[in-house]
């Protein structure tokens, strides 16, 4: 774990817009450096996209369901002299995933090298088990190069790529700029492993055949470092971060929507104006709203960077939160992936044709297995996700397609043996994501194509507005819980650069 940032020589007053994971991470790192921090959150609770829904006796996590790289969370807590375990208990899930295939077989994705090797040896044979040893070594080397040099780093221009030429050359040597799907396929004979170790490309907004091999670092994060589940559900993490921040002197104002970033005559940020008309003055402002939406709503008259206005966005997700009565089928775990027969064809439908997948792979989480308080006795909470086109490429009328796909999802639950006695439900479509402030109707922001990665991704500062800093999935380093935790830390580092 890295040391906390050094204390600021000139403490500043900082306003952080949004109490999501990136905003709370920024607040912790800023407070640890000695700054005076106020967090403004439009909702009555922390979390942002990592939210919570309580309905008819059920509690649903409305955002991410897979928590990895706990060390990055520990780093944020350590910035204010705290430990994660002081505020929340994290349980390692073993298996991390139950991977179900169309031929009726199942693979358990287990955390760590030895446990997963044992599973591959039993299910796929000695040759693929030996290949896995080499694969893990490759993943670790990728992670060791990428994390310090290309993920946990601020970029001022594309030329920043060359500040660590040895690291860049090592990434090339490791094949990081090849394609993820073919790279994985060359390593294993069992086609099931091709899918298990490459589906993570979807987190980056791309098909495995299109994603750069360097995104295998996401595979490292969940298949080697492991997947964790917080006691009390995923929303317990932002609650814990908010509590630690408050204990460290951060002021968090809930139900305080921000109307705009205030600017001085020279264009620099001077604070934020709330929707009620009040002003929160600040030396620096950290904005965590989805970047294109932040420019549109909080910075009127200031065009967003070109990549944010015309970039390629990740696919969206149709998410069905379901509270059901009854028992689960055999062989179901906390996280379940049901791979369809189709693979490349499904990605073409999703990414090129802009229509719902005919034979989708589905993600189905049952958090009530490890959080019994999330559902009444004899009931379960289900989180059912299917990838769908975002609103930029999609040709779908969600007023009709939402109910149609909901019926298809219900049929899938029945076919798989899940209980279908529905007590309560909430269907979230791309239109709903857009209404929540997410560009293109996707919670996964800009896709991680090469022109939208690293120094080519929208920067977390805008030279037109000195004192303004961005954090979150729309900026450096990108999408996913580990990345947005890093983005908060990088935002705090940008505040430290002010006035140098």
* 122-147 b/e (C-beta count within 10 Å ≥ 16 → b): ebbeeebbebbeebbebbebbbebbb
Give the span between the Cα atoms of 488 and 32, in whole angstroms. Answer: 13
Quick one: pLDDT at residue 159? 60
User: Taking the CB of residue 369, how many other CB atoms lie within 10 A of it?
Assistant: 18
Among 145-159, 237-251, 305-319, 429-443, the minimum mean pLDDT is found in 145-159
Distances (CA, A) of 314 to 28, 279, 421: 29, 35, 33
- pLDDT averaged over the chain? 94
Q: What phi and psi values does residue 440 have, to the nearest 5 degrees? A: 65, 10
Strand partners, 38: 15, 251
Report, as an integer, the average pLDDT of 195-214: 91
**Predicted pLDDT at 164:** 76
Query: Does the pLDDT at position 59 exceed 60?
Result: yes
**pLDDT band, residue 3 (cuts 50/70/90):** very low
Q: What are phi and psi of 477, to 5 degrees?
A: -95, -15
Distance of CA 392 to the CA centre of its chain: 20
**Mean predicted confidence (pLDDT) in 147-156:** 84
Task: Give φ, ψ of 357 to 5 degrees.
Answer: -60, 135
Is the previous residue joined to 477 through a cis bond, with omega within 30 degrees of 0? yes
The predicted structure's pLDDT at residue 72: 96
Judged against a pLDDT cut of 60, whether residue 61 lies above it is answered with yes
Task: Map out the domains of the chain with their CATH numbers.
Answer: 13-51+67-86+232-310+450-497 (3.50.50.60), 112-225 (no CATH), 314-439 (no CATH)
Token representation of residue 29: 């790192």
- pTM score of the predicted model: 0.94
pLDDT at 2 > cutoff 50? no
Structure tokens at 324: 């059901």
pLDDT of residue 166: 86
The proportion of the chain whose per-residue pLDDT surpasses 90, expressed as a percent, equals 85
- Read off the pLDDT of each residue in 236-255 and give the average, rounded to a whole number: 98
CB-based contacts of 445: which residues, under 8 Å, 6+ apart? 205, 290, 291, 313, 314, 438, 439, 472, 473, 474, 478, 479
Average pLDDT of span 60-68: 95
**Which pLDDT band, with edges at 50, 70 and 90, does 308 fall under?**
confident
Per-residue model confidence as pLDDT tens digits over 386-431: 999 999 998 899 999 999 999 999 999 999 999 999 999 999 999 9
- CA–CA dist 249, 132 (Å, integer): 47
Q: What was the pLDDT predicted at 255?
A: 98
pLDDT of residue 1: 42
Could you tell me whether strands 258-263 and 251-253 are parallel, antiparallel, or unpaired per DSSP bridges?
unpaired
State the average pLDDT over residues 171-180.
92
Strand order in the sheet with 279-281: 258-263, 269-274, 279-281
Q: Which of 294, 295, 262, 296 is nearest to 278 (CA)?
A: 262
Overall average pLDDT of the 87-101 stretch = 97
Q: Are the beta carbons of 343 and 209 closer than 8 angstroms?
A: no
Residue 78: pLDDT band with limits 50, 70, 90: very high
pLDDT surpassing 70 at residue 8: no
Pairing verdict, β 284-287 and 13-17: parallel
* Interval 13-29: pLDDT, tens: 999 999 999 999 999 99
pLDDT class of 6 with cuts at 50, 70, 90: low
What's the mean pLDDT in 25-40?
A: 98
Strands in 316-325's sheet, in edge-to-edge order, are: 106-109, 97-100, 335-338, 362-365, 379-388, 316-325, 421-428
Rounded Cα distance, 199 and 360, in Å: 12
CA 490 to chain centre: 16
Cα dist from 309 to 58, 136, 296, 439, 478, whole Å: 39, 38, 10, 10, 17
Instruction: Give the number of residues written for the chain.
Output: 500
| Least confident range of 162-171, 177-186, 264-273, 356-365 | 162-171
Per-residue pLDDT, averaged over 215-219, amounts to 90
- The rounded distance, in Å, linking the Cα atoms of 254 and 39 is 8
**From 120-129, 130-139, 142-151, 229-238, the region with the lowest mean pLDDT:** 142-151
pLDDT digits (tens, 9 = 90+) for 318-355: 999 999 999 999 999 999 999 999 998 999 999 999 99
Q: Torsion angle of alpha carbons 203, 209, 211, 215, nearest 10°?
A: 70
Tokens of 487: 């983005």
Measured CA to CA, the distance from residue 174 to residue 307 in angstroms comes to 28
Classify residue 491 by burial, with Cβ atoms within 10 Å: 0-12, 13-18, 19+. Answer: buried
Q: Does the pLDDT value for residue 276 go beyond 90?
A: yes
């Amino acid at each position: 774990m890295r040391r906390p940032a050094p204390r600021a020589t000139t403490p500043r007053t900082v306003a952080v817009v949004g109490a999501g994971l990136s905003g709370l991470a920024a607040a912790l790192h800023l407070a640890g450096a000695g700054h005076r921090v106020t967090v403004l959150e439009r909702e009555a609770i922390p979390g942002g996209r990592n939210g919570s829904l309580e309905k008819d006796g059920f509690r649903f996590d409305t955002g991410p369901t897979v928590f990895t790289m706990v060390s990055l969370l520990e780093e944020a807590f350590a910035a204010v002299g705290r430990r994660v375990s002081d505020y929340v208990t994290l349980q390692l899930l073993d298996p991390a995933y139950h991977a179900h295939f169309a031929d009726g077989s199942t693979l358990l994705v287990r955390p760590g090298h030895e446990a997963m090797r044992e599973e591959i040896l039993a299910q796929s044979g000695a040759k693929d088990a030996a290949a896995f040893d080499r694969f893990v070594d490759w993943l670790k080397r990728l992670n060791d190069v990428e994390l310090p040099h290309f993920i946990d780093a601020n970029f001022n221009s594309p030329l920043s790529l060359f500040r660590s030429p040895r690291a860049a050359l090592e990434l090339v040597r490791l094949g990081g700029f090849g394609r993820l799907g073919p790279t994985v396929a060359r390593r294993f004979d069992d086609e099931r492993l091709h899918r298990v170790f490459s589906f993570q490309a979807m987190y980056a907004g791309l098909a495995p055949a299109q994603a750069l091999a360097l995104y295998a670092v996401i595979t490292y994060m969940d298949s080697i470092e492991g997947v964790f589940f917080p006691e009390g559900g995923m929303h317990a993490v932002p609650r814990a971060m908010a509590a630690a921040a408050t204990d460290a002197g951060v002021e968090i104002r809930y139900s305080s929507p921000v109307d705009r970033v205030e600017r001085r005559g020279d264009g620099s940020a001077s604070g934020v104006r709330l929707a009620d008309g009040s002003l929160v003055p600040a030396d620096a402002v950290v904005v965590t709203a989805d970047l294109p939406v932040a420019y549109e709503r909080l910075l009127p008259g200031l065009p967003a960077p070109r990549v944010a206005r015309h970039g390629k966005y990740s696919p969206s997700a149709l998410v069905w939160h379901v509270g059901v009565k009854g028992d689960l089928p055999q062989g179901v775990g906390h996280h379940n992936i049901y791979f369809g027969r189709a693979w490349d064809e499904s990605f073409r439908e999703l990414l090129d044709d802009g229509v719902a997948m005919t034979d989708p792979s589905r993600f189905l989480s049952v958090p009530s297995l490890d959080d019994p308080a999330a559902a009444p006795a004899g009931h379960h909470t289900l989180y059912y996700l299917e990838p769908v086109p975002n609103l930029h490429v999609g040709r779908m009328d969600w007023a009709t397609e939402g109910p149609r796909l909901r019926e298809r999802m219900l049929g899938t639950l029945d076919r798989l043996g899940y209980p279908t006695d529905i007590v309560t439900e909430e269907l979230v479509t791309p239109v709903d994501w857009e209404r929540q402030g997410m560009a293109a109707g996707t919670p996964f922001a800009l896709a991680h194509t090469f022109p939208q990665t690293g120094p080519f991704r929208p920067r977390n500062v805008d030279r037109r507005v000195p004192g303004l800093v961005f954090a979150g999935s729309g900026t450096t380093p990108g999408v996913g819980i580990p990345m947005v935790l890093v983005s908060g830390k990088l935002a705090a580092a940008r505040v430290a650069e002010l006035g140098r």
